[in-house]
A and B are shown apart, each in its own frame.
Chain A
Amino acid sequence: MAKLINLHINGTPVTVSEGTLVVDAAKKVGIDIPVFCYHPKMEPVGMCRQCLVEIGRPMIDRASGQPVLNEDGTPKLQFGPKLETSCTTPVAEGMAVLTETAKAQAGQKEIIELLLTSHPLDCPVCDKGGECPLQNLTMEHGVSESRFTFAEKHHGEKHVPLGDLILLDRERCIQCARCIRFQDKIAGEPVLSFYQRGRNTDIVSYSDPGFDSVFSGNTSDICPVGALTTVEFRFGARAWELKQAASICSQCPVGCNVTFNVRREASTGGGYVIKRAMPRQNEQVNEIWMCDKGRFAGYQYTESASRLKLDPAELDSTLRLAAAKLAVAQAETVILAGGRLANEDFFTLKQLAAALGAKTYLYSNMGGGEQTTTYGLSAGSNLGHLGKGDTVLVVAADLYNEAPLWHLRLKAAAERGATVIVAAARATKLDEFSQFVIRYAYGDEVETVKTLADKEKIGDAIKNSKNLVIFYGSDGLGLAGTAALAETCANLFASVAVDGRTATPNNGLVGVWSTPNRQGALEMGFAPCTNLAAEIAGKTVYVVAADPAGDDPALAEALKTAKTVIAQDILETTTTRLAEFTLPAAAYTEREGTYTNAERRVQRFYPAVPAHPGTKPDFALTAALAKGCGLELEGRSPLLVMNKLALSESAFRGISYASLSEMVEQWPIIGRGDLYYGGTSYENKLGLGQVLESKLSSGLAQSQPTIHAGLRMREDELLAVPVTKLYDNGITLTPAKLLQAHIQRFNGLILNPATALKLGLENGAQATVSLNGVTYPAKVLVDASISTGVVLIPRSMGIPLLEPTAVTILAQEA
């Protein structure tokens, strides 16, 4: 515990830990000191001088070293002749801070007056207007009349694209460097900087393509003026017209807390539409950030033209006919469910399957559920607490692309002193911030992890760690490979964990899934199937939230041989097109439910907009089918489904909608009236979620993993391995108009330049790749950071590579 310091701010006694800055100490007791450049998530720089206050320190007698006392026995204070910046001054014992004296106020006023000499009168057309720190502070502290002539105003360019997502207005920038510091220090992607000096200081992006970062949207949240705005929300609405709806991002397994801003629009005949996605504070999950995929592709697909819908009468008859098929098929039914479903949906499916005696499978490209449900993180875990003495191992995962917020959080953990070890077959962005990087050849994942503990320094870091978190992913691995890797990781984890530690917070195994709720399904006992094609042939198949036919031609063939296919989804897919019955589901933005993120935290999402006409939530559709089979399931209230789920699934014990909505005060305090302090991320008012109980606390025996060997490349072969890119051609991303260029950037066959040369191909060339007898055209992209002899094929880009496979690549004749 850090030493506590006592001081007075405006006469209020304050006790805070040593090292706290005066501005934060004031905030803790509800005294707002205006700031522009200071941000509670970043080191202070003292650039804007807005936070000026008077600071008095106890006088020390030089001779005796004792405090000088007033006549009444109180220590005598010495105030400096000048105002001081409260954002750069740490608290000290006995300090007295005055923020509201005439002198301090005059200082603050002058800074605003100076800032406004170069600021346009843009508030009416500025996207920040209404939630603008400069506007608010001008109202509170500004002078009402300017002493400067309008002719002297600084004019700058007003529409400067820094990248294709963020626009800069040069006139509005107040040079606080928050954006630059965010990119440098928090995102670790230093792509912005100042250019020129004095009044001509400009923000420039020197990356190619411009503003090459997946966290760029956050800079517009923390920019204290409307200098940085997103192309997505450009002139979309005024801040005060927007309503808020709490939700959880569904694009990756992190489960960032988000707020959707909605308002009525003429385009929908006065119906509600989502105007933007903003991060919502949850210090245990996403802090106050979110990635660009969540921001610019998180909800856009729910408004896509390819939404499935049926009018009520048609939906009723489809449900009746489909249910009749299920009722006949009974145990001859196979239920296939994808990881975008909510916990409530999975539970409803599970009950239907139990009643029918049907088989249920999780549609997943990754195995290891048994391990992550056993060794997963337990209550109290927070990657934000990892630091000195803790070790994080990341195996076969490119977190930057697969779960960007974890990348950001692990980078921060490494900076706090945690030992981050990255084991991957190719360079990943996290390498730069990790202490140890291990490179192995694709196929050697299991071997590499097995020998980790025997390595000298790395072994020590793992064995002697205070806390150990292992992330494993599917970089270059298919279902069997990831299952083997998970077992090996679990084995490593269990072997170094001393008794009782395994169920303690911040210890565990995390699967880097590709969907928001695979963990929830696994906890309920859903598991992927290793031989799906054979399983579904001749059966009645109920596919929910999955597109097997689109992902794999073999599965498409298998589905054609199925007796009946009932496909339930949000958007039209290859599977829904070949299904006999299609059931239109409501998107997560239109309903209530919960997701379990890969850290095993169950979080609630709330409806932002009314359900798309002609759709119903997944659990309601399943319940309607169940009803047709003579089984009464809850089909209206997700709350009641959760209540039953908590009673019947041991992992979910103690979880209820009320417990998920519990709030505890978070630090820093952001998203209230004082936008200048933390930016425009939203305050969390609707709950931090709850972590599932660990199975280990009840003393579960350690499983004995069986190790499978991975597929290794051979000298004369070209091994194609599947990898995940943040922006792919999946159906939830293609409707995001802004991201098209980002998707195309990595859409191709990624080869080492030497390999490409050997094949007679160059960067950007068109080639064909033959896979399982089918030839696909693709663009060649060279990347020197990958090894020779392999070709990386990004998932969901049109080439159905599910497992590492030997392929042939040929140049395509023009």
Chain B
Amino acid sequence: MIVELARGLWTTFRALFFEKKVTVQYPEEKRPVSARFRGRHVLNRYENGLEKCIGCSLCAAACPADAIFVESAENSDEKRFSPGERYASTYEINMLRCIYCGFCEDACPTEAITLGDNYELSFYDRRDAIYNKDMLIVPVPQGGQLPPLVTEPGTFTRSVPAMKDPVD
């Protein structure tokens, strides 16, 4: 019996002193996620600060969990949020509904929405799970400006960046 006990404890001691530890001290310490990880979404901006999102609701249409809600409004050169005529005046994602499938990313014509690597989503209240535009959008990049922008007429006429001819 003693022998069995010693053999069993040996396994414990071996793991304790001779093997590489796998436990991570989360949340102080975090494991890197894979490049294709799908975590909490972000809404992106162009370098000048304009929002990439044009309020087209295609992400909402693609979403299998009906987690996205978009309302849109019209841009003008005096008050521009995004290129083109249309921007999202309301943008909400319910993180409790989202299944992190990434369909919204695929649907987006301007690469405005991308799934980031933040997986730390926990809430005390279901309402807190609804992320609005201010919570989702990335900060204005260096050299950019916070919309609404006043822009030169005729400079931002396209909602979707102009296509180039295919080169092969």
Q: Do A125 and B165 have beta carbons less than 8 Å apart?
A: no
20 A–B pairs (Cβ distance < 8 Å), ordered by A: A120-B158, A122-B160, A124-B54, A124-B109, A125-B55, A125-B86, A125-B160, A149-B165, A150-B163, A150-B165, A151-B165, A155-B157, A158-B85, A235-B73, A235-B74, A235-B86, A237-B57, A238-B57, A241-B61, A267-B71
**Residues on B close to A: CB < 8 A?**
54-58, 60-61, 69, 71-74, 84-86, 90, 92, 109-110, 157-160, 162-165
Complex CA distance for A267 and B105, rounded to whole angstroms: 26
| Interface pairs A-B: 6 shortest CB-CB | A124-B56, A125-B86, A125-B159, A235-B72, A266-B90, A124-B109
Q: Do B159 and A124 have beta carbons less than 8 Å apart?
A: yes
Q: Do A124 and B74 have beta carbons less than 8 Å apart?
A: no
For the complex formed, measure the closest distance between the CB of A274 and the CB atoms of chain B, giving whole angstroms: 15
* Residues of chain A contacted by B73 (CB below 8 angstroms): 235
Q: Does A63 contact B (CB under 8 A)?
A: no
Complex CA distance for A241 and B63, rounded to whole angstroms: 13
Q: Do B85 and A266 have beta carbons less than 8 Å apart?
A: no
For the complex formed, measure the closest distance between the CB of B70 and the CB atoms of chain A, giving whole angstroms: 8
Contacts of A69-106 to chain B: CB distance below 8 A: none
Given contacts A124-B54, A235-B55, A265-B71, contact A150 B90 (CB under 8 A): no
Given contacts A125-B56, A159-B85, 4 further A-B pairs with CB under 8 A are A124-B54, A125-B54, A125-B159, A266-B71
* Residues of chain A contacted by B74 (CB below 8 angstroms): 234-235
Complex CA distance for A120 and B159, rounded to whole angstroms: 10
Give the dominant DSSP class at A's interface.
loop
Instruction: Scan A59-74; emit 1 where CB is below 8 A from any B CB, else 0.
Output: 0000000000000000
Complex CA distance for A234 and B159, rounded to whole angstroms: 15
For the complex formed, measure the closest distance between the CB of A596 and the CB atoms of chain B, giving whole angstroms: 39
Complex CA distance for A267 and B90, rounded to whole angstroms: 10
Complex CA distance for A121 and B165, rounded to whole angstroms: 14
Contacts of A239-289 to chain B: CB distance below 8 A: 240-241, 265-267
Q: Which of A125, A151, A238 has the most CB of B within 10 A?
A: A125
What's the interface size class on A, roughly? 20 to 34
Q: Do A150 and B164 have beta carbons less than 8 Å apart?
A: yes
Give the dominant DSSP class at B's interface.
loop
* Residues of chain A contacted by B58 (CB below 8 angstroms): 124
Complex CA distance for A752 and B106, rounded to whole angstroms: 65
Q: Do B160 and A150 have beta carbons less than 8 Å apart?
A: no
Complex CA distance for A129 and B90, rounded to whole angstroms: 20
For the complex formed, measure the closest distance between the CB of A35 and the CB atoms of chain B, giving whole angstroms: 27
Q: Do A125 and B71 have beta carbons less than 8 Å apart?
A: no
* Residues of chain A contacted by B56 (CB below 8 angstroms): 124-125, 129, 238
Complex CA distance for A235 and B159, rounded to whole angstroms: 13
Q: Do B61 and A238 have beta carbons less than 8 Å apart?
A: yes
With both beta carbons as reference points, the residue of chain A lying nearest to B91 in the complex is identified as A266
* Residues of chain B contacted by A238 (CB below 8 angstroms): 56-57, 61
For the complex formed, measure the closest distance between the CB of B53 and the CB atoms of chain A, giving whole angstroms: 11
Contacts of A142-199 to chain B: CB distance below 8 A: 149-151, 155, 158-159
Complex CA distance for A576 and B72, rounded to whole angstroms: 38
Complex CA distance for A155 and B164, rounded to whole angstroms: 15
With both beta carbons as reference points, the residue of chain B lying nearest to A231 in the complex is identified as B74
Q: Do A121 and B85 have beta carbons less than 8 Å apart?
A: no
Complex CA distance for A76 and B72, rounded to whole angstroms: 59
Complex CA distance for A40 and B68, rounded to whole angstroms: 39
Instruction: Scan A111-124; emit 1 where CB is below 8 A from any B CB, else 0.
Output: 00000000011101
For the complex formed, measure the closest distance between the CB of A226 and the CB atoms of chain B, giving whole angstroms: 11
With both beta carbons as reference points, the residue of chain A lying nearest to B90 in the complex is identified as A266
* Residues of chain B contacted by A240 (CB below 8 angstroms): 61
Complex CA distance for A155 and B159, rounded to whole angstroms: 14
* Residues of chain A contacted by B57 (CB below 8 angstroms): 237-238, 241
Complex CA distance for A122 and B165, rounded to whole angstroms: 17
Complex CA distance for A267 and B71, rounded to whole angstroms: 10
Q: Do B90 and A125 have beta carbons less than 8 Å apart?
A: no
With both beta carbons as reference points, the residue of chain A lying nearest to B71 in the complex is identified as A266
Quick one: which of B61, B85, B92, B164 contacts A125, CB cutoff 8 A? B85
With both beta carbons as reference points, the residue of chain A lying nearest to B132 in the complex is identified as A266
* Residues of chain A contacted by B157 (CB below 8 angstroms): 155, 158
For the complex formed, measure the closest distance between the CB of B87 and the CB atoms of chain A, giving whole angstroms: 9
Complex CA distance for A237 and B158, rounded to whole angstroms: 20
* Residues of chain A contacted by B72 (CB below 8 angstroms): 235
Complex CA distance for A325 and B44, rounded to whole angstroms: 65
Q: Do A266 and B109 have beta carbons less than 8 Å apart?
A: no
With both beta carbons as reference points, the residue of chain A lying nearest to B108 in the complex is identified as A124
For the complex formed, measure the closest distance between the CB of A805 and the CB atoms of chain B, giving whole angstroms: 47
* Residues of chain A contacted by B69 (CB below 8 angstroms): 266
* Residues of chain B contacted by A158 (CB below 8 angstroms): 85, 157
Q: Do B162 and A124 have beta carbons less than 8 Å apart?
A: no
Q: Do B163 and A124 have beta carbons less than 8 Å apart?
A: no
Complex CA distance for A235 and B160, rounded to whole angstroms: 16
With both beta carbons as reference points, the residue of chain B lying nearest to A264 in the complex is identified as B69
* Residues of chain B contacted by A266 (CB below 8 angstroms): 69, 71, 90, 92
* Residues of chain B contacted by A149 (CB below 8 angstroms): 165
For the complex formed, measure the closest distance between the CB of B5 and the CB atoms of chain A, giving whole angstroms: 64
For the complex formed, measure the closest distance between the CB of B102 and the CB atoms of chain A, giving whole angstroms: 18
* Residues of chain B contacted by A125 (CB below 8 angstroms): 54-56, 84-86, 159-160
With both beta carbons as reference points, the residue of chain A lying nearest to B69 in the complex is identified as A266
* Residues of chain A contacted by B84 (CB below 8 angstroms): 125
Given contacts A235-B74, A238-B61, A241-B57, contact A124 B90 (CB under 8 A): no
* Residues of chain A contacted by B61 (CB below 8 angstroms): 238, 240-241
Q: Which of B71, B160, B164 has the most CB of A within 10 A?
A: B71
